[in-house]
Structure 1
Amino acid sequence: MRKLAGKRIALLGSRKIEEIGKLVENQGGIAFSRPAQGTTLLKDDKLQDHVRLLIKESFEWIIFTTGIGVETIYQTALDMNEGDALINSLQKANIAARGYKTVNTLKKLDITPSVRDDDGSTAGLIREFSAHSLTGRKVALQLHGDPAPRLKQWLEDNHADYEEILPYTHIPPDENVMNQLLSELLDGKLDSVFFTSTPQVRNLFTFARKKKADTQLKSCLSEQVVALSVGKVTAQALHEEGIERVIFPEAERIGSAVIELARFYN
């Protein structure tokens, strides 16, 4: 018997939905697309200014949180004919990185982080950073798609003089879809909800708070509906919203997450 037989699972991502749906169906589940990612648009007019800032400002620490963020910054520098200048600045600074994709992307540029997370999460990065004093230090924080409130709060608490790099405009997901998703969750029409990024977590809880239903949502995901996460970083975002029971794989892979959910139900 297939382990997800009859389980109704909402997919909150907006990419590879057919592929993920097929993985769920192969385990006997029923997949519903409920995109909660929203849209993230790069502010191109600001990006070149921020690349110049990285080159000229002599930051003592530069924190990278995503591989795609590193790639975007470097590609922009190349377009500006400032690729070598950027690499030179990065090599002079202390580099901190969250996530294996970020570390691998930096490695391609011959940059080795002084600090990196121990488990792929923001909490892990903060843990490893705790040995360093940031009081009064000039820090650049690269963001992508997620405002990283915990990391920003930690920098403020440690009195760092930080600048956010990579300005994005965040367009929230379709309100009709979010209404449908929230109603299905609270009405018991779903068995599990699959989060594949931290913005999906933020968007769902922000919407629930707007509808004054966040307490009900927290109760729902703690008791009735199983929260499934693609990996530790997204799971951490759910933990920060008060959801303790989160199913996720050791290796951040979509297929591994679906198998983990099947094991949970088995």
Structure 2
Amino acid sequence: MAKGLNGKRIAIGGSRKIDEISTLIEKQGGIPVVRSLQGTVFLAEKEVEPDLKAFVETGADWVIFTTGIGTETLVNVAEKLGICGRFLQAIRRAKAASRGYKTIAALKKLGITPEASDEDGTTGGLIRALEPYDLTGQRVMVQLHGENAPSLMKFLEEKGASVCPILPYRHIAPKEETVALLCREIASREVDAVCFTTAVQVRSLFNYAREKGVAEDIVKAFGESVLAAAVGKVTAEALKEEGVERLLAPELERMGAMIVELSRHYS
């Protein structure tokens, strides 16, 4: 019986669970092509300390949390520095906003109910929730997770806020030759689809493509014959921000569901 991905070359942009995704692709008859667009993530404890101390000293009018794990990590780092009580006080004095259900759960544990939160787990949803508020001259602390959420930062700056980002996690960039190779394969239609499992992977690809002046070629390839597959809403949103309209994202935000959806698409 023919399988949905028969003979299709599927590029994998992730750096985790590679064997697992490769097996899923092979079971559907596809050929997995590993092109990791994401270096390792590390806890930037030393780098985040001055930002955390500055926030505790000066406070903020708004605090925005974008990931559950990042929220918990900031609490843990504040604890190690012996300023956890003051950190929580500074958050409670401010208006809080959050993105994603895991972030709401992390804030709930701290007894904090966000004033504004998204309805769909995306940065766009968070921006829509913040739209009605006057942020002119407001100090806003933003917890980010290894990438700069350009659309959120731009929105806050356009609203007249003074933004202080805190990144408890940092990403080591992927190997340049890997990104260059995938760019060539997409532009020359040597891969049939690319699976993205985080927004960071999308940024890595497009930042490199812009730097080399080939971003338009990449968008064109995705619009015509190479299919972009996103594991979930946040990753899909990053692709749309880069101009990729033709993409596939499963209802269930899981890697297995993404491969099944891909197979169904080609069937």
Task: For residue 94 of structure 1, report the CA deviation from its aligned partner.
Answer: 1.2
User: 2 CA distance for matches of 1:185 and 1:155?
Assistant: 34
TM-score normalized by the length of structure 2: 0.93
Gap regions ≥5 residues in structure 1 = none
Alpha-carbon separation, structure 2, partners of 1:51 and 1:162: 14
Does the CA contact (< 8 Å) of 2:147 and 2:170 recur in 1? no
The alignment-based identity, stated in percent, is 44
Deviations 1:155-188 (A, max 9, x none): 1110012211126655421122112211221222
- For 2:176 and 2:104, the matched residues in 1 are separated by 36
Deviations 1:126-173 (A, max 9, x none): 111112111111110111111111111101110012211126655421
1:77 Cα offset (Å) = 1.1
Number of paired residues? Answer: 266
CA distance in 1, matches of 2:252, 2:118: 15
**Cα offset, 1:252, TM superposition:** 2.2
Contact 2:118–2:129 under 8 Å retained in 1: yes
| Distance (Å, rounded) in 1 between the aligned partners of 2:252 and 2:129 | 20
**Aligned-pair CA distance for 1:206:** 1.5
Structure-to-structure mapping, 1:146-161, within 5 angstroms: 146-161=147-162
Tell me the residue number matched to 1:143: 144
Q: Which residue of 2 aligns with 1:172?
A: 173
Q: Give the alignment of 1:177-216 within 5 angstroms.
A: 177-216=178-217
Q: 1:90, 1:202 → 2: CA distance?
A: 30
**Compared with structure 1, are the counterparts of its residues 92 and 79 closer, same or farther at alpha carbon in structure 2 (3 Å cutoff)?**
same
Counterpart Cα distance in 2 of 1:249 and 1:95: 30
Change (3 A) 1:191 1:38: same
Quick check: 1:116 aligned with 2:117?
A: yes
- Kindly indicate whether the alpha-carbon contact (under 8 Å) linking 2:236 and 2:249 is maintained by their aligned counterparts in 1: yes
Output the CA distance in 2 between the equivalents of 1:214 and 1:50: 34
CA distance in 1, matches of 2:265, 2:78: 46
C-alpha distance in structure 1 between counterparts of 2:154 and 2:185, whole Å: 33
Distance 1:251 1:134, change over 3 A: farther
| Aligned-partner Cα distance in 1 for 2:115–2:258 | 31
Equivalence for 2:6: 5
Alignment RMSD (CA, Å): 1.8
| 1:258 aligned residue | 259
The runs of 5 or more residues in structure 2 that have no matched partner are none
Q: C-alpha deviations, 1:42-62, integer Å up to 9, x for none?
A: 443332222223323221110
Closer, same or farther: CA 105–28 of 1 in aligned 2, 3 Å: farther
Match of 2:62 in 1: 61
